[in-house]
């Protein structure tokens, strides 16, 4: 399961903050308690580490490490038990003034289960296990092709990326007649089959060892894509991953975008499609039932204050404090919140129209 946009944004902000901090010595403390692990056992370990820290020669480093450990121990003791997904704790001296001390602490309950137990004193906080949670768990392989060209791509989150472009050298229409036409046709068939094999080899090279590959979408004109799947020697493991075959007239980067759109029902839970659907729903409501949709910060705030907002859309490009404030207001009245990126055409259209904020209403404001 992908983590929600709100949790993703919170985690991105935390990682950015922690990565911006550097200790003068190994005085920044990172503690991670995995899901299901007894946090009291970790507290006892940290108390032992505190005693060991008394031996650190540098007075400034010793003080920073001990105070950081004391702070984490104190915060962990406030918790009755380890949260369902585990917990990560970070503490250290964040003062930028030489000789000054400002110990700050962060306790974070992750949206996915932590699978690592960690205690580390370093010049930086250890955030790699949290970064892994931001990685997209499911990706889709993309192929659009005809007999002359093939484009292989990847749909990862909301991003469509071109991985490889192949050309066949197969000529277009046959101009010769008689026996020459027959020979020409045999030649083009042979070239096409060789091309199919090259495409299949490229797909194997790109996708075969991709652990997060959820499925493959194939598009192109009739009957080329079907011929490829039947005669192209695509390995069984990848052929079984094909979840959609669509008639597409383009075999370039634009064709990849059309393929994703045409496969909407096949990947309806994928992030790109979910975002496109909610933006289109907002635009459709605004167009057909103008009284049931508002946009702009002032109107959206009014809808939230009156409890009229049912679904709130906020552009990810807005200032973080503003996004957090709107999310809180929406949560207070039980409204859905969707964070909209600008990585898609729909997301950019939404931002250009609304300046980053819109809402679908439960009832008209006036």
**Angle at CA of residue 26, ends 20 and 31, nearest 5°:** 75
Task: Give residue 173's pLDDT band: very low, low, confident or very high (50, 70, 90).
Answer: low
Q: How far is the C-alpha of 204 from the C-alpha of 288, rounded, in Å?
A: 47
Where exactly are the structural domains of the chain? 5-132, 139-269, 272-361
In the chain, DSSP assigns E strands to 28-33, 87-93, 103-108, 118-122, 139-145, 149-156, 159-167, 213-220, 242-247, 293-295, 309-315, 336-340, 357-361
By C-alpha distance, which of 162, 139, 130 is closest to 271?
139
Q: How far is the C-alpha of 93 from the C-alpha of 24, rounded, in Å?
A: 9
Neighbours of 139 (CB within 10 A): 21
Mean pLDDT of 183-201: 87
Strands in 242-247's sheet, in edge-to-edge order, are 159-167, 149-156, 139-145, 213-220, 242-247
By C-alpha distance, which of 250, 236, 237, 148 is closest to 196?
148
Residues with Cβ within 8 Å of 79's Cβ and at least 6 positions away in sequence, in order, are: 39, 87
Q: How far is the C-alpha of 277 from the C-alpha of 53, rounded, in Å?
A: 55
Quick check: pTM over 0.85? no
By C-alpha distance, which of 33, 24, 30 is closest to 49?
30
Task: Give residue 120's pLDDT band: very low, low, confident or very high (50, 70, 90).
Answer: very high
Mean pLDDT of 219-233: 91
pLDDT per position as a tens digit, 230-276? 887 899 999 999 999 999 999 999 999 999 999 988 887 677 788 88
Q: Given this model, what pLDDT does residue 231 score?
A: 82
CATH number for the region 139-269 comes to 3.30.420.60
Task: Please give the CATH topology (third level) of the domain spanning 5-132.
Answer: 3.30.960
User: For 272-361, which CATH superfamily applies?
Assistant: Ribosomal protein L30/S12 (3.30.1330.30)
By C-alpha distance, which of 283, 290, 279 is closest to 315?
279
346 within 8 A of 293, measured Cβ to Cβ? no
Q: How far is the C-alpha of 316 from the C-alpha of 112, rounded, in Å?
A: 22
Q: Is the dihedral of CA 81, 82, 84, 87 positive or negative?
A: positive
Task: Give residue 177's pLDDT band: very low, low, confident or very high (50, 70, 90).
Answer: low
Percent of the chain beyond pLDDT 70? Answer: 97
224 within 8 A of 147, measured Cβ to Cβ? yes
Task: Give residue 217's pLDDT band: very low, low, confident or very high (50, 70, 90).
Answer: very high
pLDDT per position as a tens digit, 294-348? 999 999 999 999 999 999 999 999 998 899 899 889 988 989 899 998 878 888 9
Mean pLDDT of 69-84: 95
Q: Given this model, what pLDDT does residue 266 score?
A: 87
pLDDT reading at 157 higher than 90: no
């Amino acid at each position: 399961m992908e983590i929600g946009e709100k949790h993703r944004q919170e985690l991105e902000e935390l990682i950015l903050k922690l990565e911006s901090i550097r200790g003068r010595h190994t005085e920044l403390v990172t503690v991670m308690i995995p899901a299901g692990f007894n946090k009291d056992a970790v507290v006892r370990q940290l108390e032992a580490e505190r005693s060991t820290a008394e031996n650190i020669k540098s007075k400034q480093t010793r003080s920073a490490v001990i105070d950081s450990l004391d702070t984490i121990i104190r915060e962990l003791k406030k918790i009755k038990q380890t949260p369902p997904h585990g917990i990560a704790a970070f503490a250290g001296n964040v003062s930028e003034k030489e000789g000054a001390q400002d110990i700050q602490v962060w306790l974070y309950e992750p949206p996915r289960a932590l699978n690592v137990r960690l205690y580390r004193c370093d010049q930086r906080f250890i955030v790699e296990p949290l970064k892994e949670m931001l990685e997209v768990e499911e990706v889709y392989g993309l192929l659009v092709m005809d007999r002359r060209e093939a484009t292989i791509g990847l749909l990862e989150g909301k991003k469509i990326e071109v991985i490889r472009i192949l050309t066949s050298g197969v000529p277009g229409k046959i101009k010769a007649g008689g026996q020459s036409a027959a020979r020409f046709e045999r030649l083009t068939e042979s070239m096409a089959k060789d091309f199919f094999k090259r495409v299949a080899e490229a797909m194997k090279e790109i996708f075969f060892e991709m652990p997060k590959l959820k499925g493959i979408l194939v598009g192109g004109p009739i009957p080329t894509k079907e011929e490829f799947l039947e005669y192209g020697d695509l390995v069984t493991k990848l052929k079984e991953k094909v979840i959609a075959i669509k008639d597409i007239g383009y075999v370039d980067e634009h064709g990849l975008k059309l393929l994703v759109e045409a496969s909407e029902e096949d990947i309806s839970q994928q992030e790109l499609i979910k975002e496109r659907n909610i933006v289109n729903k907002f635009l459709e409501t605004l167009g057909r039932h103008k009284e049931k949709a508002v946009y702009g910060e002032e109107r959206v705030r009014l809808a939230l204050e009156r409890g009229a907002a049912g679904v709130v859309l906020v552009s990810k490009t807005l200032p973080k404090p503003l996004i957090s404030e709107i999310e809180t207001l929406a949560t207070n009245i039980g409204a859905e919140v969707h964070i909209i990126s600008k990585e898609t055409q729909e997301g950019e259209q939404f931002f250009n129209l609304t300046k980053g904020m819109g809402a679908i209403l439960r009832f008209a404001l006036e």
